[in-house]
Amino acid sequence: MATREVAPELHKLFDEGAEVYSISRLNTINQCEYQAYLSYIKELPRRGNVWSNLGGSIHDALEKCVKGEADESILSKAIQDELDNLEILGLEFPLDRNGNPTLRDNWIANMTRFAKEFKTPKGNFETEKLVLLHWKDNIWIQGYIDLIRHNNDGSVYILDWKSSSQYDKKHLVEAGRQLVLYALAMQEQGYEVKRMSWVMLKYCITKWTQKNGKPKEKISEWRNYIKDLRSVLSKKLTDMEYDEMDVDAMLFKAEQENSMDSLPEELRAQFKTLPYVRDYELTPEVIAECKQYIDDSIEKYHKCGSEEKNFKPCDIEKESFFCSSLCDFKDSCKYWEKYCDEYRSKNEKTDENLF
């Protein structure tokens, strides 16, 4: 992943003694105060993790595609190169509860298929744009927008690449704050934000027309999209008067390849599969929620100050996945070290470890 240089605009704010926050910094103090201390007060180097390293490399490759500096083939290479790099760094995907590499296998299957199917979007785009939102007094919010499409009417469309899983209702507002901040910053510059979305890279959306003429669509993970469409494809092939054995044979091959390429052209022409773009509406409610979140998060930093004792750890028992797999500072965290020591000590005393 390329290292981002500090922009002159940020240098100027730092020289003036401004407080500058990013959505990442705001989220960190709410996720774990002690992580915020290690990252932003003590300024320890980040360890990195599987998700951030892979996501960063894919973002870099997508940026080159949009800028016309490379074609789509760079995506497959970027994924493989970063997977190789993870081995060198000793960073591993977490195992599932049964000790299997399901998360790794599924991620690779989804992103490999995405890379194969991706087509560079068309339009007047700006990538990795630095935006600065003046909050109050000498406080600023900064962010880098992955992709902005400038529309012919002068408005803008904000897009954010996401290689993570879908957001459920509980986490939708949390994830949406980043887009809201981007929109507020663009509005401050005088732009009308017509639309904002996530491009969910692990997912695709397939569209077709039903027999009654009504449109239909299905959102799937890339690795399963043919399997998810099996019943629809089977019905359409049967309507095209293929016999049951031929239908089963064709769909078996299509599922094995996770592709429609081997299916009849007449059938393929009825379906269109695209990367899944999930919109997020900029409403007064989400704007108010985001503004309150920013104020509350900044206040937490102010209350904690700079002394280590003021920054409390998260509830490690509840957040063990975050601490073990996502935290960039687990190797430097005394609380995580203590938790692991106590866990090992407790485990050594059980009869299960005698044999």
d(CA 104, CA 102): 5
Task: Quote the pLDDT of residue 319.
Answer: 86
CA separation for the pair 156, 188 (Å, rounded): 13
Six-digit token string for 181 = 């901040």
137: which DSSP letter? T
Number of helical (H) and strand (E) elements in the chain, helices listed first: 14, 7
- Class (C level, CATH) for 125-201+277-294: alpha beta
Strand ranges inside the chain, DSSP E: 19-22, 125-136, 139-150, 156-162, 193-209, 215-221, 272-279
DSSP code for 44: P
> Exposure of 142 by Cβ count < 10 A (0-12 exposed, 13-18 middle, 19+ buried)?
buried
Per-residue pLDDT of the chain (355 residues; tens, 9 = 90+): 556 788 999 999 999 999 999 999 999 999 999 999 999 999 999 888 899 999 999 999 999 999 999 999 999 999 999 999 999 999 999 988 899 999 999 999 999 999 999 999 999 999 999 999 999 999 999 999 999 999 999 999 999 999 999 999 889 999 999 999 999 999 999 999 999 999 999 999 999 999 899 999 999 999 999 999 999 999 999 999 999 999 999 999 999 999 999 999 999 999 999 999 999 999 999 999 999 999 999 999 999 999 999 999 999 988 888 998 889 998 999 999 999 988 888 776 655 555 5
280-283: long-range contacts (C-beta < 8 A, 24 or more apart)?
280/172, 280/176, 280/179, 280/196, 280/197, 280/198, 282/179, 282/180, 282/183, 282/193, 282/196
Instruction: Report the alpha-carbon distance of residue 238 to residue 68 in Å, rounded.
Output: 44
The tens digit of pLDDT for each residue in 272-283 reads 999 999 999 999
Q: Which residue is it, tokens 């429609």? A: 260
Provide the pLDDT for residue 346: 77
d(CA 225, CA 297): 40
SS3 per residue for 63-119? HHHHHCCCCCHHHHHHHHHHHHHHHHHCCCCCCCCCCCCHHHHHHHHHHHHHHHHCC
CA distance 323 to 313: 10
Handedness of CA 179, 184, 188, 193 (dihedral sign): positive
Half-sphere exposure at residue 279, Cβ-oriented, CA atoms within 13 angstroms: 7
Residue 8 carries which side chain, given as an amino acid letter?
P
Domain boundaries, the chain: 8-121+310-336, 125-201+277-294, 211-275
List pLDDT tens digits, range 60-104: 999 999 999 999 999 999 999 999 999 999 999 998 889 999 999
R_g (Cα) of the chain, nearest Å: 24
243-256 pLDDT, tens digit each: 999 999 999 999 99
Q: What is the pLDDT of residue 1?
A: 54
What the block records as the tokens of 75 is 């995506």
- Name the residue among 94, 57, 323 with its Cα closest to residue 201: 57
Angle at which helices 284-304 and 169-188 pack, to 10 degrees? 90
Closest CA to 12 of 151, 105, 140: 140
C-alpha dihedral (256, 81, 158, 281), degrees to nearest 10: 50
